[in-house]
């Protein structure tokens, strides 16, 4: 089913034929070639969001977001320390555009991190290779000096997927982002811990100097 030029994916409908919910069973002669939706961007940008996604319209869900709605989200697989970007559903590879994987070269933990107080609960991952800037993978904005943020409409984005026993899902580290009037998103915090139902966030705004200083040691300039 389509809505205009985008297909509609109903999460409540399970195909009786055994096909994945992102697929439609058909005769092999009627198979369509894979969609090439990875459009490289010729300029740097950050914090872009797409309300409702850009590849499909999603219905039948609760809190699920559509593909490429929040382009800055990544999954950290601690079993092999692998970072996935552009992966909407970790349980399948049937998305309209491919995800991109990157390995981790260095891990940097804050030197004053304290387990008891959870103070300075932040770490950086230096990748083997940077992610491409394509239509469905764009980083979040970090520096917001001189930028007016709408702190009344901040929110947390968390990965949603069918959990696998070998890949448990965690919400810790999920970004707390705030929009500008023009709907550009900036990260201001990261989910640190939850105690008695109260969520505590690491204040990224107070750690920007540490982030820049540590990355400069690896010749990385944000």
State whether residue 134 is helix, strand or coil: strand
- Which residues in the chain come in under a pLDDT of 50? 1-3, 161-168
Query: Where are the extended beta strands (E) located within the chain?
Result: 2-3, 6-10, 57-59, 74-77, 82-85, 100-109, 123-127, 155-156, 175-179, 185-195, 198-203
Predicted TM-score (pTM) of this structure = 0.77
Q: What is the pLDDT of residue 152?
A: 96
Q: What is the pLDDT of residue 18?
A: 61
**Lookup result for tokens 């100097």:** 209
Cα separation, 92 vs 9, whole angstroms: 15
**Lookup result for tokens 């040691």:** 217
The backbone torsions φ and ψ at residue 97, rounded to the nearest 5 degrees and listed phi first, read -130, 150
């Amino acid at each position: 089913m389509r809505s205009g030029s985008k297909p509609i994916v109903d999460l409540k409908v399970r195909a009786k034929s055994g096909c994945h919910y992102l697929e439609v069973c058909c005769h092999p002669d009627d198979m369509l070639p894979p969609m090439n939706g990875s459009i490289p961007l010729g300029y740097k940008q950050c914090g872009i969001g797409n309300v409702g996604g850009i590849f499909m319209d999603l219905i039948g869900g609760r809190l699920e977001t559509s593909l490429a709605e929040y382009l800055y989200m990544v999954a950290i697989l601690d079993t092999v320390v692998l970072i996935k970007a552009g992966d909407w559903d970790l349980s399948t590879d049937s998305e309209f555009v491919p995800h991109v994987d990157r390995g981790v070269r260095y891990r940097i933990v804050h030197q004053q991190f304290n387990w008891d107080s959870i103070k300075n609960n932040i770490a950086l991952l230096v990748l083997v290779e940077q992610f491409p800037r394509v239509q469905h993978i764009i980083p979040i904005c970090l520096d917001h000096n001189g930028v007016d943020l709408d702190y009344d409409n901040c929110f947390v984005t968390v990965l949603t997927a069918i959990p696998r026993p070998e890949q448990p899902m965690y919400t810790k580290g999920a970004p707390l982002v705030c929009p500008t009037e023009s709907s550009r998103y900036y990260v201001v915090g990261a989910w640190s811990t939850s105690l008695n139902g109260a969520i505590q966030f690491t204040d990224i705004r107070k750690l920007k100097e540490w982030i820049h200083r540590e990355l400069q040691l690896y010749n990385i300039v944000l």
